[in-house]
């Protein structure tokens, strides 16, 4: 069995994804097959693989503060990453609030549609 890393670029977004590719021979058909396992995205600046998020978690930041410490980046860049991480988390909170309001509005619109349909039936 041979294992290698394969990089695949999404043509629409330009995002590069990394996969672990394992070649093996299918015992039934006697033909070579490939098994791919998703590893994560590739950071466009550092070219490091950012691991996939654990199931159920929301790991959307491209480079966390701890990763910048591990890379021994200059303090100015680490500060910028920290600021961006804070801004991203604030935007996520705002997005969650907007989504909740959107759900409330959808319920109200549904109720209004039901009432208007009942009124139209009464008028007919």
Predicted model pTM: 0.45
Task: Pick left, alpha or beta for residue 73 (phi over 0 → left; psi -120 to 50 → alpha; otherwise beta).
Answer: beta
pLDDT at residue 50 in the model = 87
Assign 62 a pLDDT band (cuts: 50, 70, 90): low
| SS3 label, residue 124 | coil
Per-residue model confidence as pLDDT tens digits over 6-39: 999 999 999 999 999 999 999 999 999 999 999 9
- Closest by CA to 98, choosing from 86, 110, 106, 87, is 106
Cα–Cα distances in Å, from 17 out to 89, 93, 101, 103, 114? 24, 27, 34, 33, 46
Domain ranges of the chain: 1-52
């Amino acid at each position: 069995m041979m294992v290698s890393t394969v990089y695949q670029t999404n043509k629409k977004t330009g995002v590069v994804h990394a996969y672990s590719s394992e070649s093996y021979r299918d015992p039934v058909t006697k033909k070579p097959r490939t098994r791919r396992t998703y590893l994560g995205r590739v950071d466009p600046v550092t070219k490091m693989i950012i691991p996939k998020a654990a199931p159920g978690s929301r790991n959307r930041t491209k480079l966390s503060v701890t990763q910048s410490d591990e890379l021994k980046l200059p303090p100015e860049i680490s500060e910028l990453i920290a600021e961006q991480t804070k801004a991203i988390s604030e935007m996520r909170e705002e997005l969650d609030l907007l989504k909740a309001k959107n759900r409330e509005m959808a319920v109200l619109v549904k109720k209004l549609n039901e009432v208007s349909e009942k009124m139209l039936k009464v008028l007919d």
